Structure 1
Amino acid sequence: MPPDPDESGLRERKKEQTRRLLREGAAALFAAHGFAGTTVADIAAHANVSERTFFRYFDSKEALLLPDSADLFRHVESELAVRPADEEPLDAVFNALLSAVAPFAASSLTALTHSIEGAEVLVAARLVQAFTEFEDRLTLLVLRRIPDGTPDADLRAAVIAGAAMSTVRAVLRTQRRRRQSDAVAPTPPSHLLLQAFGMLKQIGTAAS
């Protein structure tokens, strides 16, 4: 007897729901207790599943640090696509990234603004890979926004994409350091991002 399509679809929806609950639980726990203060057991319990079930979806809690980065980057791409055609490419990229602050706040990427002691090497490697892959895609998107005939348009697109992603990484590092310092009150990511973008534009103006 052939498999029931409805039954197969229900299983897939349940799997996706469990995966989503694990991601959301990890995001909430990482934000509340930090990466080091959260265990696999905590995440599984939050999603009301066993640790054995957890490991059917993720090989470690480190794997949950960047599980939704693809969705987040797709959000940035979608936002960039609807920016005004006559907007400066750098401004368009910055505004698209700013639009991702809210999704970022609800994702497990928030763990990157907390101490991740014991997982720095692994996390750094995964983060570099994710950002590098997105920087390549972002470069192509920026290139489409640069007017035809612009000298060295490919280089210009690469510089804009690289500068934007470097700025995001700088914000993540700064927020993590500030959270670790009792002397500095945490600053909302959107504020830091606006400040950082402003600084980058000032540097560009001064160099021109």
Structure 2
Amino acid sequence: MNDWGEREPGLRDRKKAATRRTLLQTAARMFAERGYQETTVKDIASAAGVTERTFFRYFPSKEDLVFAEVLDLVPLLRREIPRRPAGEPPLTAVLNGLVEAAGALDEGLAILFVGTPPRALPTGARRTHVLTDFEDGIADALVVRLAEQHPDEPDDRRARRAAVLARVSVAVIRSALLAHVSEDAAGPERRSVDDFGTLLREAFDAVREAV
């Protein structure tokens, strides 16, 4: 047990977590180097030193690997957004919380946002479900934050405000993704996490200036 009364993971759990992390790290690197479409499951498994069969024990498909890392971000967003300084406006808190949450992952922003059109243009029920989970995670964090800042606000109004701000935030992130993907056509040298970070901040700035 740790200090919070949670069971410490055993050796088997740690090995499984390490293999999963290796697959995610390898995929992040290969997506950045080759692009999402050009990287196969076989490529990822081989570079990670495992078989394709092992890959599929962790992820049903390459797409699910991408979604898994997006969903890994959700509990981190729930933690980081409420921690932002009280003076930050909600959208600023989301942006900075996102950067902090991504920084807590070994891949940072790389696996989430580098040169992967399927994540920039989500379609279909599976992707819609992931986007909804992402929005819900941001909304949950904003509810906590707004409750601390405006304790007298009715719960239902606070929840509606948080939901709207979460949807706006996801739309802003997708806009930055679209801009990043369109700039990939200029050449692989444009595929930079720093480039995406700049576009992300510009997109949030545009919304803040408009409201």
TM-score bracket relative to the smaller structure: 0.7 to 0.9
Shift of 1:105: 4.0
Deviation string 1:161-206 (CA, Å, 9 cap, x unpaired) is: 1111111111112111111245x955612111111111001111xx
Asked whether 1:67 is paired with 2:47, we answer no
Gaps of 5+ in 2: 1-8
Query: Which one-letter code corresponds to 1:114 in the other structure?
Result: T
Contact 2:135 2:167 in 1 (8 A): yes
Shift of 1:92: 1.8
Q: What secondary structure does 1:170 align onto?
A: helix
Q: What secondary structure does 1:93 align onto?
A: helix
Deviation string 1:34-91 (CA, Å, 9 cap, x unpaired) is: 1111111211111111222222222222221121222222222222121123433232
Describe how 1:48-87 pairs up with structure 2 within 5 A: 48-87=49-88
Shift of 1:150: 4.1
Q: 1:137 to 1:37 in 2, by over 3 A?
A: closer
Paired position in structure 2 for 1:3: none
Q: What secondary structure does 2:202 align onto?
A: helix
Describe how 1:93-108 pairs up with structure 2 within 5 A: 93-100=94-101, 102=103, 103=105, 105=108, 107-108=110-111
Asked whether 1:171 is paired with 2:166, we answer no
Asked whether 1:148 is paired with 2:151, we answer yes
Q: What secondary structure does 1:44 align onto?
A: helix
Output the CA distance in 2 between the equivalents of 1:43 and 1:18.
12
Describe how 1:163-202 pairs up with structure 2 within 5 A: 163-182=168-187, 185=190, 188-202=195-209
Output the CA distance in 1 between the equivalents of 2:82 and 2:151.
18
Asked whether 1:124 is paired with 2:129, we answer no
Identity %: 35
Contact 1:66 1:108 in 2 (8 A): no
TM-score scaled to structure 2, two decimals?
0.77
Q: Could you say which structure has the larger radius of gyration?
A: 1
RMSD of the TM alignment (CA)?
A: 2.8
Deviation string 1:137-176 (CA, Å, 9 cap, x unpaired) is: 3223323333134474333222211111111111112111
Contact 2:113 2:196 in 1 (8 A): no
